[in-house]
Amino acid sequence: MQPARPTIVMPEAPDLQMRNAISAPLKAFNSREAGRPVDFRTLALLLKDDASGEIVGGLWADTSFTQLHIDLLYVPETLRGSGLGAQLVTQAEEEARRRGCLAAWLDTFSFQARGFYEKLGYEAFGVIEDYPPGHSRIFMKKRFA
């Protein structure tokens, strides 16, 4: 006998509890099929203003299946070119290696930081053209030595 078919609902304000209801069984499935635990762990490096304590930028990533995924990287425009962005990425890669990661991946837009990541050893492996219109979304990877 077939299980009852669920109703599709689109909430006005999705929250983390809803996301977790989807991700928990997906992670269990992925671990079972991959033959190893997902070992999903968040990794955050924050840039904090010394005077105010306010977060002004940083890096947000996660590690799983021996890969580092850099989700967000932001350095205030006034600090770009200072080496801070490279320091954030390098620290994230070092922590990822401690967690057993073998490689990293990320995506960036054509108007963002492709050249920056290439200087750090990343290479493009995929592009979505016209996303957003007139630009590209670029997927990049780096294998650790």
Q: Give the number of domains in the chain.
A: 1
Give the helix ranges, DSSP H, for 35-138: 84-98, 114-119
Q: In this structure, is residue 5 part of a structural domain?
A: no
108: in domain: yes
For residue 3, being part of any structural domain is answered with no
Residue 48 in any domain: the answer is yes
Helix (H, G, I), strand (E, B) or coil at 25: helix
**Which residue in 128, 125, 120 sits closest to 141, CA to CA?**
125
Query: Once rounded to an integer, what is the mean pLDDT over residues 117-133?
Result: 98
Is 19 within a domain? no
Confirm whether 6 is domain-assigned: no
| Domain with 75 in it | 40-143
24 domain-assigned:
no
* pLDDT confidence of residue 2: 83
CATH of residue 113: 3.40.630.30
Q: What are phi and psi of 83, to 5 degrees?
A: 95, -5
- pTM of structure: 0.88
pLDDT tens for 75-95 read 999 999 999 999 999 999 999
